[in-house]
Structure 1
Amino acid sequence: MVSQRAGGGTGRAFQRVADTLRSRLADGRTYPIDRLLPSERELAAEFDVSRDTVQRVLRELRSEGWIRAEQGRGNRVVKTQSIHSPDRPRGQAEQVNLAVVLDKAFAAEKVTLDVYSLTSESLVGRLQEQAGRIRRGEISPQGIKVRMLLPAKDALMDLPRRVDGGDSSPLLERLHGIIDVMAGMVCKTLEDLQTEGRVPSVKVSVRHTRARPQFKLYLVNRTEALHALYRSERRAITLHGGETVDAVDVLGMQATLIHYEEGVDPESHGSLFVRESQLWFDEEWADSLSGATSHPMGATAGEQKRVRP
């Protein structure tokens, strides 16, 4: 995406910086809890945007509960994305996060990732990390297959909405813009690896659902699952034009992810959850719409139809 100084516009620069910082905050290791973020000047230089853009992004991150402003010190991280792994021995749950799960998955020869989510925003930074590992020669998967189920533009979306009952269409337009951008970034991040000759086979497919997802689900190599319920929260949202509105929004990156892993016992909680979730996803995928209301990079013209009547 193009920065504000390069002519991309205030809204686009704002979204780019906000998305990147959220991803770093969510992973729990780029900016751990209790660490100070880089200064406004440093962030403006890194992203090649104005300090005004950085200040607006930081206000939004504070409204979402990621960071807290401290007089004379800066912005301190107070929240990351929590992951709980009930099948792991006591004391090991903190060792599991999305980055660790994907580190393990991408070390395999064949990588499969099925995603059901609102925006796929949490994935972008983590997949870029894996692409970096591949380019550095640390891992060398021979095939990557990703399927993403995301809301269609005409899906029944009750959130986000204005608290005052006013027109919520700008909020929905903003959300669908994020959905399209994030899906495009996932596709480009992975497809570039095949274009560069680093991974022999890469296939990224995007299909759409008619309803707002109530939860997010990642199925990794058909042996692990990460699941989280979306929560709604009242917060201030800055629109692309700079207007800030009081809204009820869906917050997914802060939701607690529960980690399940297939075990030796096929009837264990982990094995059952992974197996049943994979069956559910496969059925939803077959009944979904492909490229019905948007055409992010990676979707093919042949998928512009309903798979089942």
Structure 2
Amino acid sequence: MTQDRSAPGEANTSDPKFEHVADVLRMEISDGQYRYGQRIPTQRELVQRFAVSRDTVRRALQDLQHEGWIESRQGSGAVVARRPSHHAGTSSPMVHLKPYIEEAFEAPTVTLDLMTLTAESMDAHIRAQTLRIHSEEIKPQRIAVRLLLPSTDINLALPRSVADPNDERPRDRHRMLTKRHAGALRDAIIELRNRDLVEDVSVEIRTMPLTPIAKLYIINRRHALFGMYRVVKRPVDVRAADDPGGTEKLEIFDVMGLGATLFPFTGGDTETVSQDATFVDHAQRWFDSLWDHLAHDARFDD
């Protein structure tokens, strides 16, 4: 088993292994793999899964507990904590994306303005809601989605190879992921119209010549969720340099998007101006300015 170099009984804070463990667990909790009150894997199981020391696992769990993702229960170990309600009107960073999307699709009109790097998170969440529509659990009358992505034609700052910034393979991989998730999201929503499940459907995808350093979700023009992309170094599979049909591991600088902490802001229903309402208003104006003046219709069929 691979071990990190933490001293016995002490986590090595300069070693990013604990951050990777925390990031993966945060992503899995955020995506609903572990529900409120459910026990997460034990320290022993996490040590085996991630091939790290117990000290590294402890540090990751300490971070998650400090952030409010998990809590310790006697006799149960670490369990998923109840996150503060997104109706509370406070800018707590402890929120899931899932309840916001579920609530949005339960309204007669659904509007989503999304700025992201690949649309991977939103693809999964939106397709989950289309399944609810297919089963007639919910019946929205109108769905309008605007998806803003970085152009695949520019030299993106991220992802890129650690060893060779000019290596095109990380950008090729990003293009493939973007095409896959944006296309799946678009097709799932368009199918609702084709099957007469939703009367009015609109999906627009544009790209801009910028590398996003944060994600922004504006939901039904009332909620704005803002998450910062943290740069991480990790190995990924890319096409082999000397074998077009094969693959090889390449260490790249990438961003941790799935499971990233989302900061929620909710606009008010009254004329009272709050900090949250101001953020939502300006976030919408910012998105609109990028959409109208900098972005162009996406071309993923090349």
* TM-score for the superposition, normalised by structure 2: 0.70
For 1:35 and 1:201, locate their aligned partners in 2 and report how far apart those are by CA, in whole Å: 41
Partner of 2:227: 228
For 1:258, which of 258, 263, 266 is the aligned residue? 263
Alignment of 1:27 with 2:9, yes or no, is: no
Partner of 2:109: 110
For 1:283 and 1:166, locate their aligned partners in 2 and report how far apart those are by CA, in whole Å: 31
Alignment of 1:188 with 2:183, yes or no, is: no
Aligned-partner residue type, residue 251 of structure 1: M
The 8 Å contact of residues 107 and 140 in structure 2, kept in 1 or not, is answered as yes
Partner of 1:245: 250
Alignment of 1:273 with 2:279, yes or no, is: yes
Query: Shift in Å at residue 160 of structure 1?
Result: 1.7
The 8 Å contact of residues 30 and 259 in structure 2, kept in 1 or not, is answered as no
1:84-116 per-residue CA deviation (whole Å, 9 max, x = no partner) reads 8898378x875x411100111111111100001
1:202-234 per-residue CA deviation (whole Å, 9 max, x = no partner) reads 110001100101110000010101101111111
Map residues 1-309 of structure 1 onto 2, 5 A cutoff.
25=28, 27-31=30-34, 35=40, 68=50, 88=88, 94=94, 96-165=95-164, 167-240=166-239, 241-263=246-268, 264=270, 266-291=272-297, 293-295=299-301
For 1:128 and 1:138, locate their aligned partners in 2 and report how far apart those are by CA, in whole Å: 14
For 1:158 and 1:257, locate their aligned partners in 2 and report how far apart those are by CA, in whole Å: 22
For 1:284 and 1:93, locate their aligned partners in 2 and report how far apart those are by CA, in whole Å: 25
The 8 Å contact of residues 26 and 253 in structure 1, kept in 2 or not, is answered as no
Aligned-partner residue type, residue 50 of structure 2: R
The 8 Å contact of residues 81 and 257 in structure 1, kept in 2 or not, is answered as no
For 1:113 and 1:196, locate their aligned partners in 2 and report how far apart those are by CA, in whole Å: 21
The 8 Å contact of residues 85 and 93 in structure 1, kept in 2 or not, is answered as no
Query: Shift in Å at residue 159 of structure 1?
Result: 1.6
Query: Shift in Å at residue 294 of structure 1?
Result: 2.7
Query: Shift in Å at residue 28 of structure 1?
Result: 3.9
Greater C-alpha Rg: 2
For 2:152 and 2:161, locate their aligned partners in 1 and report how far apart those are by CA, in whole Å: 19
Q: What 5-or-longer segments of structure 1 have no aligned partner?
A: 1-20, 37-61, 72-76, 297-309
The 8 Å contact of residues 111 and 143 in structure 2, kept in 1 or not, is answered as yes
Report the CA distance shift for 1:93/1:138 in structure 2 as closer, same or farther (over 3 A): farther
Query: Shift in Å at residue 242 of structure 1?
Result: 2.5
For 2:283 and 2:129, locate their aligned partners in 1 and report how far apart those are by CA, in whole Å: 24
Query: Shift in Å at residue 237 of structure 1?
Result: 1.3
The 8 Å contact of residues 27 and 259 in structure 2, kept in 1 or not, is answered as no
Aligned-partner residue type, residue 293 of structure 2: D
* TM-score for the superposition, normalised by structure 1: 0.69
Of stretches 286-295 and 25-34 in structure 1, the one that deviates more from structure 2 is 25-34
Report the CA distance shift for 1:86/1:137 in structure 2 as closer, same or farther (over 3 A): closer
Aligned residue-pair number: 243
The 8 Å contact of residues 27 and 260 in structure 2, kept in 1 or not, is answered as no
Aligned-partner residue type, residue 223 of structure 2: E
1:113-160 per-residue CA deviation (whole Å, 9 max, x = no partner) reads 000111111011111111111112111000100001111122341222
Q: SS at 2:112's partner residue?
A: strand
Q: What 5-or-longer segments of structure 2 have no aligned partner?
A: 1-23, 54-59, 70-82, 240-245
The 8 Å contact of residues 121 and 258 in structure 2, kept in 1 or not, is answered as yes
Q: SS at 1:197's partner residue?
A: coil
Report the CA distance shift for 1:105/1:98 in structure 2 as closer, same or farther (over 3 A): same
Report the CA distance shift for 1:280/1:288 in structure 2 as closer, same or farther (over 3 A): same
For 1:251 and 1:27, locate their aligned partners in 2 and report how far apart those are by CA, in whole Å: 13
Query: Shift in Å at residue 235 of structure 1?
Result: 1.1
